Amino acid sequence: MPAKLSVNLNAIALLRNRRDLPWPSVIGLGRIALAAGGHGLTVHPRPDERHTRNSDLPEIRALIDDEFPHTEFNIEGYPSEEFLRLVEKNQPDQVTLVPDDPSQPTSDHGWNFAESAAFLTPIVQRLKKGGMRVSLFSDPDPVGMAAAADTGADRIELYTGPYGSCHADSGKAAKELDKLAKTAEAARAKGLDVNAGHDLTVDNLPALMRAVPFLAEVSIGHGLTADALEFGMAGTVRRFLKASGW
């Protein structure tokens, strides 16, 4: 089955936050995305709330529970105690742990699993005890997959930024796809399911799906939001679903 599409709402929240106004509506556009066939919504609430605000989270949880109970809520972020309490309060279906510094504009690298295992393992156990699936943000490097699996996580999320940056260089893109495919295979061999996200577009998504046909989920925000300016949110979600094989 093709990877499920989770629509990342951070870029919409960032645009809203430019003014002290309630539009564009994060909840309203999330509703449109799910009504158009999206399989879930993703947010990355940062400590300074420059993207999604903490107050958005219960509204997104209620939107999914009340109107789209077959879809999922994914919250990603660095696992500080504040973040862990936030996800425990809002009960997402999936938590994606990223090794971000709070000042980073966006996620740009995965965990060093060998070095971070002792830190991540009790956090993974805590979240899973709370009934949440756990995914770990991962560079396209198969070496760390055994250590990732040893934390008890359910999935990795492949960082596809280097692949997405190859939009003008097909040869380089092919090399990045090979790294992603080898990492995905190594993860699957250790019992991990595989998600992917970062700088994915309608144009580069089909090749990723062919390289890693067992992807469980793709989380897409910036490219999808950019396309929504031209095609509207509903039309854009349908374009991405088609690109992923749905």
217 is catalytic: no
Q: Fill in the DSSP letter of residue 142.
A: G
Give CA torsion, residues 238, 50, 88, 192, to 10 deg.
Answer: 50
Residue 44: active-site member: yes
Is 39 part of the annotated catalytic residue set? no
Catalytic residue among 39, 51, 72, 76: 76
Exactly one of 44, 51, 157, 217 is catalytic; which is it?
A: 44
Q: Classify burial at 20, counting beta carbons within 10 Å of its beta carbon; exposed 0-12, middle 13-18, buried 19 or more.
A: exposed
d(Cα 5, Cα 225) in Å, to the nearest integer?
14
State the Rg of the chain over Cα: 17
3-class DSSP state of 40 = strand
Q: How far apart, in Å, are the Cα atoms of 119 and each of 78, 124, 136, 158, 190? A: 12, 9, 13, 20, 20
Positions marked active-site: 44, 76, 198
